Chain A
């Protein structure tokens, strides 16, 4: 067996936790450096995987399989393909920059990084595993650290938001769990291996039942309207690094699960329920954007914009063709990077100004030109400007979905217009306008605080100009599945 590179990605944060456990509480600096190295290692390893992934072969690569629970047929199986690899890369980038975004943290540093790394180990596990049992297990591992991270280091209504988030996520995962057990018992093969389960045939009634459970379950995570209310609250309350990880990565678990476990295993069930997802996702897009428009707190704006943007992912998923699903995966990646950037910037502003109310600001670009520049880039990415990776993703989704749901697609595109309104309004009210002497004390970001902003902006721009680095990989992962299981795309739909 070759070097277990995927296990190394999974274990790097765990190793970090173990090291940090033995570092005394007061050695703040050392703890942060260990966390940075552990997460830097994951970035490095994911880049190595990206470089060595052989697209001409496609499918799962770097596979590791160790029988785990004989009784149940659970295998510790890891592997990446064109769908999971971008998301692994995303996770690594977001957590690495997240560590730097928390560089200024002073309160209970040791515990913070222990829980943060535990959280990220769970997230990596979800994207890396090829076994449905471990998929569920890793997801749940990620939830509880989140509760403590928000509850202890959060702001604004943190205890309420932390509990709400935890309960919502666990309820969502409970639905998924029932589907997982049901499919396991239905096949009677005694395996949770996702690939094997994908190759089985299921009768239509069971597909509808199982896909419904998965749709609700992962719908909680995405979050799909009307299960979304935990997410803006959670984003706002969470400390910066956790917001980044939460909006950047955790919400993608839902989309990923829906694609991997939902439509690939139960294509007929997906076809039956797709119109429902299609309609709900438009509510996401439009309603999320409308609510974002009326928010006064910067973090709430971004929180609701995430709800809105995840609607595009759902639209891509609901359209069930190669282009739209590839677009959905790309959108998950692009949105992850973009929101992480947003939260890193807002975190910086809040740390210095101790407020996030839009009305309090004005003309911040005079005092904080670098933050303003970063915010403008993130904002333009958010409204889908060509040249940034989000454009590519959204474009792919719309082209793919227009064939299936023309009316819904037009409605979704109108969401972009609303997005433009609220993003530009925020940029204008916060960063532009006359210089406000009240904020003259504020210093711009510099030194280590710049790391997340530079990396994330760089990724947005680089992949915006060279989208083939991302899109070809994703296409490579999505296309075989779609060809095999969704060969006759349902044209027309409800509208």
Chain B
């Protein structure tokens, strides 16, 4: 059987880039790795362009083990975009705090990217698991970067142990589903379920799968690792972890549940609904008392995962398109917020919310970017997050879940409270020291682009909604 290799050009490019970066990094002297980082960025931008032109491509490879479709390509764009931003924002941070490891940082990010983009295209449980592990292992290394940083090592160990556990649970779930369906391919499982048989073993398998994926997207009650790892990991890694790894996990979650398991949604939908509501409520409430801004963003990320899950509950084109829109917006908002944290800590600032006191005076630019990013996360217009939430609410209300809209909207108001606490520190308080913060050019450019995109998509979301709607049709 002829294999259409043109469909996996992006994956091949990323794999080639990873190896290339690894080799070049050995040849370049330790103090001149910055060029390498920008080379990686350009390489990834190339991949992004290829992906953009491949958005309409559709097909399967290797007997259905690998699926290329608009949905996958959309998620890949999201992932590659996050990696580009993480490297752009992280270069100087890594140079300063993890001196001498910039090359390694770059190629591990690319490896993680490879894992993530393969994950969202997985058409078979084997591919799925391999890709998931490639992503997870790369992330474990990235989290533990800087072996002299005690916190990072702690975070890495925690992430390693809990990832191993969750992978085990997921794997167990997959084998149980395999046991029932006698196939590992997603299409096969769909056909099996379409026959209408429901073996208890299958139900158990689905529950295990939910908890396995729940860990990756940090849904309550599988979120416990999130704050500790986010806090301990180097901030650029946290940023990447919070958007790309979550995005990839959402990609595969949507694919498995919408593609393979729609036949018995009455079975798993209640579980998802309970998890979603718990995630939104707990994430938002626990974020309130957080004093550390990275922990606060971790819990806010937990809550945001709940909002994206609403798209799955809606189980419609509108729902998926809203979730895709929101996931993409979430990348920009979160990257914006973490970008400010990176720039701030480079200037010697701490990670406590109160360290941000009077940021408007020290750097009006950083304060404005942080404010815009947080308000977008809170869903305040004219920023993009508002429209994302609006669509999600509309999508689930269409399915008649009015009570979930009430809960989600109410919690969204709660989130405004803790996001505004940061705004309060930045704008109302006087700074501890007056020295202005100098923001380096790459960070400035990235943050400016992020903010403008957030603002633009908030005022005129049509380009992205049209794209997301088109992509969402993959499933229906």
Contacts and interface: CB of A to CB of B under 8 A. Distances in A.
B203 interface: no
Contacts of B424: 151, 159, 163
Contact of B409 (A69, A147, A178, A182): A178
Given A71-B465, A185-B397, A170 B382 contact: no
Contacts of B398: 185
B157 interface: no
B381 to A, nearest CB: 4
A74 B427 CA distance: 34
A71 B462 contact: yes
A166 B380 CA distance: 11
A143 B397 CA distance: 25
A72 B394 CA distance: 10
A163 B410 CA distance: 16
Given A178-B405, A181-B397, A163 B420 contact: yes
Contacts of A163: 417, 420, 424
Interface string A123-158: 000000000010001101101100110011000001
B389 to A, nearest CB: 9
B382 A141 contact: yes
B28 interface: no
Contacts of B375: 144
B380 A144 contact: yes
B462 A68 contact: yes
A5 interface: no
A159 B375 CA distance: 18
Interface residues of A, number: 31
Contacts of A182: 397, 402
A185 B394 contact: yes
B223 to A, nearest CB: 25
Interface in B387-406: 387, 390-391, 393-394, 397-398, 402, 405-406
Given A72-B465, A111-B360, A151-B428, A184 B394 contact: yes
B407 to A, nearest CB: 11
A376 interface: no
A177 interface: yes
Contact of B406 (A68, A151, A178): A178
A181 B394 contact: yes
Contacts of B416: 166-167, 170
Interface in A79-138: 111, 133, 137-138
A69 B381 contact: no
Interface in A154-199: 158-159, 163, 166-167, 170-171, 174, 177-178, 181-182, 184-185
Interface string A333-357: 0000000000000000000000000
A70 interface: yes
Nearest to B410: A174
B391 A72 contact: yes
Given A152-B428, A166-B420, A174 B412 contact: yes
A68 B391 CA distance: 15
B466 A70 contact: yes
A159 B428 contact: yes
A178 B393 CA distance: 9
B460 interface: yes
Nearest to A70: B462
Contacts of B224: none
A296 B362 CA distance: 39
A159 B429 CA distance: 10
B469 interface: yes
B461 interface: yes
Contacts of B23: none
B427 A152 contact: yes
Contacts of A152: 427-428
Contacts of B405: 178, 181
Contacts of B387: 69
Interface string B362-400: 001000000000010000111000110011011001100
* Residue from B397, B424, B428 having most chain A Cβ neighbours under 10 A: B428
Contacts of B393: 177-178, 181
Contacts of B364: 111
Nearest to A71: B465
Nearest to A170: B413
Nearest to B468: A71
A92 B393 CA distance: 34
A167 B465 contact: no
B423 interface: yes
B74 to A, nearest CB: 16
Contacts of A185: 394, 397-398
A126 to B, nearest CB: 12
A69 B461 contact: yes
Given A69-B461, A137-B386, A178 B402 contact: yes
B331 to A, nearest CB: 20
A144 B385 CA distance: 15
Interface string B253-264: 000000000000
B106 to A, nearest CB: 36
* Residue from B360, B380, B412 having most chain A Cβ neighbours under 10 A: B380
A140 B417 contact: no
Given A71-B466, A147-B423, A151-B424, A177 B409 contact: yes
Contacts of B381: 137-138, 140-141
A177 B375 CA distance: 18
A69 B469 CA distance: 12
Contacts of A147: 420, 423
Contacts of B321: 71
Contacts of A174: 409-410, 412-413
A144 B460 CA distance: 20
A166 to B, nearest CB: 7
Interface in A352-376: none
A133 B424 CA distance: 29
Nearest to B469: A71
Contacts of A68: 460, 462
Nearest to A115: B427
Contacts of A166: 416, 420
Contacts of A158: 428
* Residue from A141, A144, A151 having most chain B Cβ neighbours under 10 A: A144
Contacts of A143: 380
A141 B462 CA distance: 19
Contacts of A170: 413, 416
Contacts of A181: 390, 393-394, 397, 405
Nearest to B462: A69
Interface in A440-491: none
A201 B252 CA distance: 44
Interface in B455-470: 460-462, 465-466, 469
A167 B391 CA distance: 22
B464 to A, nearest CB: 10
Contact of B417 (A69, A71, A167, A177): A167
Given A143-B380, A158-B428, A181-B397, 19 more contacts: A68-B460, A69-B387, A71-B321, A71-B466, A71-B469, A72-B465, A137-B381, A140-B381, A141-B380, A151-B427, A170-B413, A174-B409, A174-B413, A177-B409, A181-B393, A182-B397, A182-B402, A184-B394, A185-B394
7 contacts: A69-B462, A72-B394, A151-B428, A159-B424, A174-B409, A177-B393, A182-B397
Identify the 6 closest CB pairs spanning chains A and B, nearest first. Answer: A137-B381, A174-B409, A151-B428, A71-B465, A140-B381, A181-B394
Interface of B: 321, 360, 364, 375, 380-382, 386-387, 390-391, 393-394, 397-398, 402, 405-406, 409-410, 412-413, 416-417, 420, 423-424, 427-428, 460-462, 465-466, 469
